[in-house]
């Protein structure tokens, strides 16, 4: 029996609950079957497909084109670019397994996967975008005012949008809170009071900076952190360092 779109969406939502450890797989399978009308085997297969796609690992039970498309679309919306990359990896390995097992090609599934993969190919990382922008600014600054003026007259006043990806460190909130409490509203760089108060809570605005950057192997600790005003924080990243 063909699985409906509503059943696929319901299975996806139950899969998310298993992934979040709100339900164990056995209970999720039983509840999904009871809620959606899927038989026990189909409920199990749908849940396993989702969990493997979240992990980026091969799954072996068959999945049809429409459920695959729904899963990939929703994973992109809910888990972002990184989640979609893992799901595409799992889906490709699934198709390779099925083609090897059945001795026939599955162009429909491959096309869906590649259509989703194309949405990733045009994206760049946030760091890459910043470097590219800096290069363009340097080139524009080297041009004459007349050259820039001509381009500005022809340029659109509404900027286009570009999807970028970013990898971030998961900061320890206790480190941030402790460093801000230690600073008592005074920048630990220039020694001046915070430049303004936060609109949301009236607290002095300072930014917690790592002395040895996390990207360079620095520790996310109170000892390796300073509370800085925005000016000192930008200086620490972009200013000319004393020799």
Q: Which own/partner contact pairs does 164-168 have at CB distance under 8 Å and 24+ positions apart? A: 164/123, 164/124, 164/125, 164/126, 164/128, 164/129, 165/80, 165/81, 165/82, 165/123, 165/124, 165/125, 165/126, 166/125, 166/126, 166/127, 167/125
**In this structure, what CATH number is given to the domain that contains residue 218?**
1.10.30.50
**How many residues are recorded in the chain?**
243
On whether residue 83 sits in a domain, the answer given is yes
Q: Does 93 lie in the same domain as 10?
A: yes
Same-domain check for residues 20 and 107: yes
Give the model's pLDDT for residue 242: 61
Based on the structure, what is the number of domains in the chain? 2
Q: Residue 141 falls within a domain, yes or no?
A: no
User: Structural domain of residue 185, as residue ranges?
Assistant: 173-238
**Pick from 238, 237, 229, 186: nearest CA to 208:** 229
Could you tell me whether strands 124-125 and 207-210 are parallel, antiparallel, or unpaired per DSSP bridges? unpaired
- Report, in angstroms and rounded to the nearest whole number, the Rg of the chain calculated over CA atoms: 25
- Looking at 12-16, 154-158, 225-229, which range is the least confident one? 154-158
Do 27 and 106 have their domain in common? yes
Single residue among 123, 139, 156 that ends a domain in this structure: 123
Same domain flag for 10 and 80? yes
Condensed to tens digits (0 to 9), the pLDDT of residues 44-59 reads 999 999 999 999 999 9
Q: Is residue 113 part of a domain?
A: yes
Q: List all residues 6 or more positions away from 187 whose beta carbon is below 8 Å from its beta carbon.
A: 193, 194, 206, 227, 228, 229, 232
Residues 192 and 114 grouped into a single domain: no
Residue 95 sits in the same domain as residue 187: no
Angle subtended by helix axes 5-19 and 65-102, to nearest 10: 80
Last residue of a domain, one of 123, 150, 181: 123
Q: Point out the domain boundary residue: 123, 158, 193.
A: 123
User: Has residue 166 been placed in a domain?
Assistant: no
pLDDT, tens digit (0-9, with 9 covering 90-100), for 87-126: 999 999 999 999 999 999 999 999 999 999 988 766 677 7
> Sorting pLDDT into bands at 50, 70 and 90, what band is 164?
confident
Per-residue pLDDT at 133? 86
In this prediction, residues 130-152 reach a mean pLDDT of: 91
Give the rounded percent of residues in the chain with a pLDDT score beyond 70. 97
- The answer to the question of residue 15 being in a domain is yes
């Amino acid at each position: 029996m063909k699985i409906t779109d509503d059943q696929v969406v319901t299975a996806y939502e139950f899969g998310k609950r298993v992934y979040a450890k709100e339900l164990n797989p056995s209970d999720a399978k039983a509840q999904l079957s009871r809620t959606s009308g899927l038989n026990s085997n189909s409920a199990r297969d749908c849940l396993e497909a989702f969990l493997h796609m979240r992990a980026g690992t091969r799954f072996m039970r068959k999945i049809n084109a429409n459920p695959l498309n729904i899963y990939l679309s929703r994973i992109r919306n809910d888990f972002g670019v990184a989640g979609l990359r893992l799901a595409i990896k799992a889906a490709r390995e699934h198709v390779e397994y099925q083609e090897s097992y059945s001795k026939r090609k599955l162009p429909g599934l491959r096309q869906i996967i590649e259509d989703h993969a194309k949405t990733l190919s045009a994206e760049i990382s946030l760091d890459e975008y910043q470097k590219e922008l800096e290069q363009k600014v340097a080139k524009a600054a080297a041009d004459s005012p007349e050259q820039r003026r001509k381009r500005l007259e022809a340029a659109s006043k509404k900027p286009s949008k570009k999807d970028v990806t970013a990898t971030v460190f998961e900061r320890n909130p206790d480190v941030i809170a402790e460093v801000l409490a230690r600073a008592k509203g005074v920048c630990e760089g220039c020694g001046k009071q915070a430049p303004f108060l936060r609109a949301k809570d009236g607290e002095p605005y300072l930014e917690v900076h790592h002395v040895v950057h996390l990207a360079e192997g620095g520790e996310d600790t109170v000892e390796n952190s300073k509370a800085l005003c925005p000016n000192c924080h930008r200086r620490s990243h972009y200013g000319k360092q004393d020799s």
